[in-house]
Copies of this chain bind each other. A is one copy, B any other.
């Protein structure tokens, strides 16, 4: 949608991970979306639409990704005793992990591109996968 030089654009990324927990780098998907949106200056929101998945920005280094996963497991452990499981679910820890890592980031767009620091990479963090789930990308800003 464009009006008087202002643009809003939306896209959905779909995921269906092989493993229950998987972290996927999505910086290029977001960058391509922004390139197609023809926005010079503005914001893009990247937000997980399912409540057992998150989105965060940090380093694309496999050791660190391992550390983050260990850390989340320590602070929000898988456990059979969550009260949420009385509903028949078994993913209480996945809800808590999403809260801890957070479910969205807002990335600034400058001169038509993602304005990220040198090591900033956007990740989708799946905590209860093996089924179809979505991330919304929504950009708002001034046209190029």
Q: If the complex has contacts A3-B142, A4-B4, A95-B58, are A106 and B47 also in contact, measured as CB distance less than 8 A? A: yes
Q: Give 1 or 0 for each of A87-101: 1 = CB within 8 Å of chain B CB.
A: 100001001101111
Given known contacts A6-B3, A45-B43, A96 and B110 CB-to-CB distance under 8 angstroms: no
14 extra interface residue pairs, beta carbon distance < 8 Å, beyond A8-B40, A50-B119, A71-B96: A1-B142, A3-B4, A4-B5, A8-B42, A8-B142, A51-B119, A58-B98, A58-B99, A59-B84, A64-B82, A67-B92, A67-B96, A115-B138, A117-B134
- Our pick among B10, B64, B75 for the contact of A92 (Cβ within 8 Å) is B64
Q: Please name 10 pairs of A and B residues whose Cβ atoms are closer than 8 Å in the assembled complex, sorted by A.
A: A1-B40, A50-B117, A51-B57, A61-B84, A64-B84, A66-B84, A75-B75, A99-B100, A100-B100, A104-B105
